Structure 1
Amino acid sequence: MAKLIEKDLEEAILALPTKEKNKILIRLIDKNKVLVEQLHFKLLEHPEIDLKLRQDSVADQIENLKRYNAIKSKELLTLQRSYFAQISHHKRITSDKVGEVRLSLKLILKFVTDYSLVFNKPDLKYNHKLNEYNIKKMLLLLKNLKGIHEDYQIEFVDDINTILDFFYNGIHAGLAKSLALPRYID
């Protein structure tokens, strides 16, 4: 990304008295909500305990997701997108790669388990979009899985293979194959 300030201006800013620089810095940080939350997490929260609490909060929301008896593909897709937005926000604030994989996996597994009939109804208008979205999320999850330590990867293998099996045994197996979703991982 290109710098927005010139070299001369940068040097002049660095030459300002510390008190004045701090005022400017606080004013700039206050304008960015995500940066404020990131700094709060990094500077004020315990790196392990609060990370676990944040992760558990999102996981509890996924776990306590109301089970709908009659839901359409479009509504399910909208609901799922909102939960993935929460997971992305968690990752953006905490830089928690393992948590992102764990939460994404938990979310997809919950949806394919609770709403397997919706995923496999061929006559629903948004069914193809729902399956394509989830397959692409699985591909992203598998990519992110490679970026974490092997000890964590082992923890997720069974759930990932359950989801992969679901997509390859459903009506959109051809879509899974065309998007290069693996049949299983080891």
Structure 2
Amino acid sequence: MEYSKEFKAALSQLSSVEKDRLIFRLLRKDEILSKKLYFELIDEETVDQKRDAMEELIKEKVEYASKYISNQKYFIVLIRKISAQITEHVKVTTDKFGDISLNLLLINEILESNEKLSRQRFNDVYKLYLYIINKIVKALALTKKLDEDYWMEIDEYLSVAHEKITANIYLEKLFINNGIDFNWLNIERIPDHFDLIIKDIKNQGFLK
């Protein structure tokens, strides 16, 4: 949303007391904005420290969730809650690297349970597998826009993901059937026009 010059001028004319009231009213209605301002103005923890804490949280919560793999509906609910926490972390800290690394870590931790997953009926794990594929695709798209200084670290996550995905026959086949080339799990091999390729794949009815 763009603000007119008149609107900006009107805001600038508000008294300090009125501005404070307005700010606190907005903060009460927007928890993310409140946390973001707290992080930027007061919080002594750095982005790296918060990312490290998120990594531990992801490992801990996925380990707990893995107890419910046989109940796929509940398992996915738990995984989506973890994903929501990652999203909140990214919004609060503007952690572009973490947006990729934490989501890839989430996938890799889920696939630590490959043995349990392989014992489930394919129809039961289909939604989870499609969720994983879309997470990987999004991570690849974001990686192309990330500073190259981070590529080596992201490649490590992708390498682990590649190994775990190809160790799961049905997940591997679903990747292939949805048009995802495993060569792309190496940053230097992600096509320059990756977004267009994925758009075309989705237009053909895949990744859904």
SS at match of 1:104: helix
Q: Measured at CA, do residues 15 and 151 of structure 1 come closer, stay the same or move farther in structure 2, by a change above 3 Å?
A: closer
For residues 90-145 of structure 1, what are the alpha-carbon distances to aligned partners after superposition, in whole Å with 9 as ceiling and x for unaligned? 001111011121211111111112x1034334625421111000010011111121
Distance 1:151 1:10, change over 3 A: closer
Greater Cα shift, 169-178 or 8-17? 8-17
What is residue 93 of structure 2 aligned with on the other side? Answer: 94
TM-score (norm 1): 0.81
Q: Aligned partners of 2:26, 2:134: CA distance in 1, in Å?
A: 36
Which amino acid is 2:86 matched to? I
Q: How does 1:1-186 map to 2 (within 5 A)?
A: 1=1, 11-46=9-44, 49-65=45-61, 66=63, 68=66, 71-72=69-70, 73-113=72-112, 115-121=113-119, 123-169=121-167, 170-184=169-183, 185=186, 186=188
AA aligned to 1:59 is: E
Is this contact kept in 2: 1:119–1:130, CA < 8 A? no
Other structure's SS at 1:163 match: helix
Aligned partner of 2:202 in structure 1 is none
Specify every segment of 5 or more residues in structure 2 that has no aligned partner in the other structure, as ranges. 189-208
Question: Runs of 5+ in structure 1 lacking a partner?
Answer: none
1:150 is displaced (CA, Å) by 1.3
Deviation track 1:141-170 (CA, whole Å, cap 9, x = no partner) reads 111212222121111213313323433452
- In 2, Cα distance between equivalents of 1:11 and 1:54: 37
Q: State which drifts further: 125-134 or 153-162.
A: 153-162
TM-superposed deviation, 1:11 = 4.2
Matched letter for residue 95 of structure 2: D
Return the alpha-carbon distance in structure 2 between the equivalents of residues 18 and 62 of structure 1: 42
CA RMSD of aligned residues (A): 2.6
1:125–1:147 Cα change, 3 Å:
same
Count how many residue pairs are aligned between Structure 1 and Structure 2.
Answer: 181
Distance 1:7 1:155, change over 3 A: closer
- Matched-pair identity in %: 24
SS in 2 for 1:181: coil
Cα distance in 1 for residues equivalent to 2:67 and 2:6: 64
Distance 2:105 2:60 in 1: 12
